Structure 1
Amino acid sequence: MGLSRFATVLALAALAGGAAAPASAQQKVLRIAMTAADVPTTTGMPNNGFEGMRFLGFPVFEGLFLWDLSRADRPATLRAGLAEHWEQDADDPKTWIFRLRQGVAFHDGTPFDADAVIWNLDRFFKPDSPQFEPAGSGITRARVTIMGGYRKIDDRTVAITSTRPASYFPYMLVYVLFASPPAWEKAGRDWGKAALSPAGTGPFRLSRFVPRQSAELSRNEGYWDAERRAKLDRVVLLPMPEANTRLAALRSGQVDWIEVPPPDGLPSLRGSGFEVTTGSYPHVWPWFYQMGGDTPFRDVRVRQGLNYCVYRAALVGLLNGTAEPSVGWLKPSDPAFGRPANRYGYDPARGKALLAEAGFTPQRPLSFKVLISTSGSGQMLPLQMNEFMQQNLREACGVNVSFEVAEWNTLLTALRSPPGNATLNGAASINPSSPSSDPSVMVRYFTRGAFAPTGFNWGQWTDEAFDKAIADLEAAKDEAAALSAYAAAHTRLVDNPPWLFIVHDLNPRAMTKRVRGFNSPQSWFIDLAAVDLAR
């Protein structure tokens, strides 16, 4: 059951050891090199952003909803997961009633039921619960910014309430994953020990975990959806944050698949018989502007001016065509892009004029620091790209940019921290990549209620017209009204920009010809269960 971004959302209301050893001739073992510097956490709410969710989230653990990753010709939508039926309460549209799927067991053999749902929700949203997990809670709360409450109705039914009616609430709940309560008890009620032997309900189970080195997933033979049982016997996940290291590992046969190959290596990979995949997906690579406190970004002319200074086409060329210019949070082809007055292109004269109006001239140039990462989920090639941006802004508009360089998880911690956090070391901008998949993401990145640490509005951006459009979206009763409100909200993101929009990633991957059945969906996530490996 697929859920389109609007119509069906509204209808919802009705390892092989430490090193990468060669694959066994008897088993199908897929070895993947990730961009992460460490193995994502394995407790059931992985760190390392959406790359963590891609490889150690959804393949092992599941939510009430799941992503439908079966098609590549449209943005991914939602489908039924551990809930087989749901509806909004007719008397209280803030409350959603979920009928849980029968016959589902965690990997440790214990049943998935309403008690397990409440236990996990307490784990994330109830700080005084014995099972409360601070790290997992911080990640989950930032993605589910309007959680109100929840209760068990019976063994197969739960009710979850949002703080306000919101048609997009399922798109937040998809990120709430469920782990086995008995597995935590068996680990001595210690999340550190539970990370070594967690139990989810997904098509793969964690069979081996070596911190900072590798993780191994094995097929869940008893997966509840018989038609989606994994074709692979095992998947070995290896952190390799440096792009050229990943490239060398693929060429030498140490791995079968790499995330984000270096753009200059793509022609030779294709020429050597490797498969290179790209595809449009909901992704933005921006700089966030900080507007809380005394920063130059309080002036909209500065924020607009910088958007006219970026030579996006040249950056796309540097990336060998593996990106698209970004002139908004959504792509211009999206029906919700709207009709903003500003259509950002490379126009240094206009950019310098706007900066001058704000008081920044060659005699008094704009100068600021950006917190950037060395690698990470969706970060593409951050060091090379940011060096390009530094030179581009200096040469085009006389802007002086310096960098504070951090590891990816350190940057994510700063993103979830209020302005002035010591990690920033004076940075007034930050460079995390962002999803742009649906209205729920827009809400948690740009609304007043999503200031860090509650959500991802790190810059503390506000806009009354945007707030009104979001309120109209939340109250929409039909697809046309929802789309109109979404477009009105996006128009404000372009004309009163909270970010410096730079590029959209085209999601490049490289793999051997032995990899079969891979579908590159318009999503940050992939269906590992559908992937096969020729012997």
Structure 2
Amino acid sequence: MRRFLAATALLATLGTAHAEVVVRYGISMADIPQTTGQPDRGAGAYQFTGHTIYDPLIAWEMDVAERPGKLVPGLATEWAVDDTDKTKWRLKLREGVKFHDGSAFNADAVVWNFDKVLDEKAPHFDKRQSAQVRTRLPSVKSWRKIDDMTVEITTKEIDSIFPYQLLWFLVSSPTQYEKLGKDWDKFAYQPSGTGPFKLDKFVPRERAELVKNGDYWNKKRIPKADRIILIPISEALNRTNALLAGSVDLIETPAPDAVPQLKRAGMKLVENVTPHVWNYHLSVLPGSPWTDVRLRKALNLAIDRDGVVALMNGLAKPAKGQVDPASPWFGKPTFDIKYDPKAAEKLVNEAGYSKQKPLKTTFVIATGGTGQMLSLPMNEYIQQNLKEIGIEIDFKVVELEQLYTHWRRGAKDEMNAGLTSNNIAYVTSDPLYAIIRFFHSGQAAPVGVNWGFYANPKVDAFIDEAKRTFDPAKQDELMAKAHEQIVDDAALVWVVHDTNPHAMSPKVTKFVQAQHWFQDLTTIGMD
């Protein structure tokens, strides 16, 4: 009887384990992104430890693949600007939402979270989280509680595009922080948000296991998988081999050379239009060669983008500017970004350089990671393109998160001494993230991420006017004029737009790839 009962218990246990739907996800990062509320490692990290454990006040529609998403209610059900003072925004908060620890979400929690990342005098201020989100909230001046379920945010100036900033602000539990002895390091292992997943296990640089929150307030986003295991595999070929070997079920950014092999093995490849650009930010500080517009244009004309796309086995699209020509913010620039090495070499010669007397400088680049696709092979390919016109580039190669630190500090920082360009990639899904924070002179680092200190009064004027208008059509028109000028100035070197490719086992039967760098892991399901 004892043996029978033991066997019955074992079968029951095995049955339960078999019933659990587990997805093993190979992610293109060297480590698990920060789990305390504001992920590090860029926009791509939000899909892993951001919009899984936590929620924003205003969310992005992520469950559609056929069209771009739009702003949708998150922890705030309504938001509106004050008609009498357009620097004030009122947000009505969602009733009945609980944090994972069981405490109630309310206005006090929202104020506490703003203090956490923007008020350095707050006792719970977290420098690490603040570093990730402060530059994403450039307009926020102050915040206050109106009542238990209403907050008011005051912006530094009239900013009609402000709601897009709140996509990046995630809300963690004050109660859990207090319970864990007011220690953010402990909170990282036992985080509490309001999101569709809870963190069950966490081993830095090895794995994070997210389990379904069956009590999640948004019934449309109840996860289809019971458990998602995030496994950092930063090198594309290693990720691809892990999928082929059955060690993982889903990967992002497979090795392009292995695409035919993946298809022969029955793996599915999914990609989509993605507002995401891979480029080089250029320093225009005194002493940088890129103060000369001829050299900036030469860089843009020297790159064989079709060759880069071929290197990616088709998993990219040539860039003609900061945004795609189909974007309402593209406009009609007169400078046509294309592959024209003869024109590029002529401009280099006019600037006083040649193959015999090359311009020599150093760029900082990443080993790989979110949005970087194949950073090293792509950079080496472009390095050869530039050498052919008389520009010789050396690389300072760093891990992705260190690259972001270089980027946020700006070209003036001593960390960037001797560097004239930063190779970066990022989301361009809205006017703030496509244009404003990179090209307005008021967003020069470290205030924003205008890394190279680009400044054009015309661009500033177009952006300022767009922020003062609440007419979307007029906003688009002004942003298009700003983009025209930015391209004509050759402010950056634009290479390709990412298509955010994913490869997955045939066992993964459900996955919605949104037209964004934000992706919703609740849509992933398996047979």
Q: State which of 420, 423, 435 in structure 2 corresponds to 1:431.
A: 423
Q: State which of 320, 329, 348 in structure 2 corresponds to 1:336.
A: 329
Stretches of structure 2 that go unaligned for 5 or more consecutive residues are: 1-15
Q: State which of 398, 401, 404 in structure 1 corresponds to 2:396.
A: 404
Shift of 1:190: 1.2
Q: State which of 489, 493, 499 in structure 2 corresponds to 1:496.
A: 489
**Partner Cα separation in structure 2 for residue 466 and residue 450 of structure 1:** 12
Matches within 5 A, 1:504-515: 504-515=497-508
**Partner Cα separation in structure 1 for residue 471 and residue 293 of structure 2:** 34
1:355 aligns with 348
Q: Does 1:414 align with 2:406?
A: yes
Q: Deviations over 1:288-345 (max 9, x none)?
A: 1011231001111111111111111111111111111112001112232111111111
One-letter amino acid of the counterpart of residue 322, structure 1: L
Q: State which of 289, 312, 319 in structure 2 corresponds to 1:296.
A: 289
Q: Does 1:440 align with 2:429?
A: no
Q: Deviations over 1:21-60 (max 9, x none)?
A: xx94220011101111011111011111122211110111
Matches within 5 A, 1:200-211: 200-211=193-204
One-letter amino acid of the counterpart of residue 445, structure 2: A
**Partner Cα separation in structure 2 for residue 227 and residue 277 of structure 1:** 23
1:11 aligns with none
Shift of 1:425: 5.4
- TM-score (normalizing by structure 1): 0.93
**Partner Cα separation in structure 2 for residue 390 and residue 229 of structure 1:** 46
- What SS does structure 1 have at the residue aligned with 2:87? strand
1:122 aligns with 115
**Partner Cα separation in structure 2 for residue 80 and residue 142 of structure 1:** 23
1:68 aligns with 61
Q: State which of 133, 136, 144 in structure 2 corresponds to 1:140.
A: 133
One-letter amino acid of the counterpart of residue 249, structure 1: A
1:199 aligns with 192
Q: Deviations over 1:107-128 (max 9, x none)?
A: 0000000000000000011001
Conserved 8 A contact 2:355-2:387: no
2:220 aligns with 227
**Partner Cα separation in structure 1 for residue 410 and residue 422 of structure 2:** 13
- What SS does structure 2 have at the residue aligned with 1:202? coil
**Partner Cα separation in structure 2 for residue 505 and residue 226 of structure 1:** 31
Q: State which of 462, 480, 493 in structure 2 corresponds to 1:487.
A: 480
Conserved 8 A contact 2:410-2:450: no
Shift of 1:444: 1.4
**Partner Cα separation in structure 1 for residue 364 and residue 348 of structure 2:** 22
**Partner Cα separation in structure 2 for residue 398 and residue 486 of structure 1:** 35
1:373 aligns with 366
Which of structure 1's runs of 4+ aligned residues deviate more than 4 A? none
Structure (1 or 2) with the larger CA radius of gyration: 2
Conserved 8 A contact 1:120-1:178: yes
Q: Does 1:182 align with 2:175?
A: yes
Conserved 8 A contact 1:126-1:132: yes
**Partner Cα separation in structure 1 for residue 272 and residue 414 of structure 2:** 37
**Partner Cα separation in structure 2 for residue 436 and residue 50 of structure 1:** 11
Count, aligned residues: 511
One-letter amino acid of the counterpart of residue 440, structure 1: L
**Partner Cα separation in structure 2 for residue 211 and residue 505 of structure 1:** 28
**Partner Cα separation in structure 1 for residue 387 and residue 356 of structure 2:** 14
Worse-matched range after superposition: 423-432 or 452-461 = 423-432
One-letter amino acid of the counterpart of residue 57, structure 1: G
Conserved 8 A contact 1:75-1:282: no
**Partner Cα separation in structure 2 for residue 322 and residue 157 of structure 1:** 45
- What SS does structure 2 have at the residue aligned with 1:63? coil
**Partner Cα separation in structure 2 for residue 87 and residue 282 of structure 1:** 26
Conserved 8 A contact 1:404-1:425: no
Conserved 8 A contact 1:342-1:494: yes
Shift of 1:422: 4.6
One-letter amino acid of the counterpart of residue 409, structure 1: E
**Partner Cα separation in structure 2 for residue 372 and residue 331 of structure 1:** 23
Residues 521 and 227 of structure 1: is their aligned pair in 2 closer, same or farther, counting only changes over 3 Å? closer
Shift of 1:449: 1.8
Shift of 1:280: 1.3
1:25 aligns with 18
Q: State which of 22, 31, 38 in structure 1 corresponds to 2:31.
A: 38
Q: Does 1:107 align with 2:105?
A: no
Shift of 1:70: 2.1
- What SS does structure 2 have at the residue aligned with 1:25? helix
Question: What is the percentage of aligned positions where both structures have the same residue?
Answer: 40
**Partner Cα separation in structure 1 for residue 472 and residue 116 of structure 2:** 35
Conserved 8 A contact 2:41-2:400: yes
Shift of 1:398: 1.8
2:5 aligns with none
**Partner Cα separation in structure 2 for residue 281 and residue 270 of structure 1:** 22
**Partner Cα separation in structure 2 for residue 418 and residue 310 of structure 1:** 25
- What SS does structure 1 have at the residue aligned with 2:168? coil
**Partner Cα separation in structure 2 for residue 512 and residue 242 of structure 1:** 19
1:153 aligns with 146
**Partner Cα separation in structure 1 for residue 422 and residue 377 of structure 2:** 16
Q: State which of 262, 265, 268 in structure 1 corresponds to 2:261.
A: 268
Please provide the CA RMSD for this pair: 1.3
One-letter amino acid of the counterpart of residue 351, structure 2: A
Q: Deviations over 1:173-231 (max 9, x none)?
A: 11000000011111211111110101011111111111111101011111011232111
1:10 aligns with none
Worse-matched range after superposition: 256-265 or 165-174 = 165-174
Conserved 8 A contact 2:198-2:210: yes
**Partner Cα separation in structure 1 for residue 478 and residue 94 of structure 2:** 34
Q: State which of 431, 436, 452 in structure 1 corresponds to 2:445.
A: 452
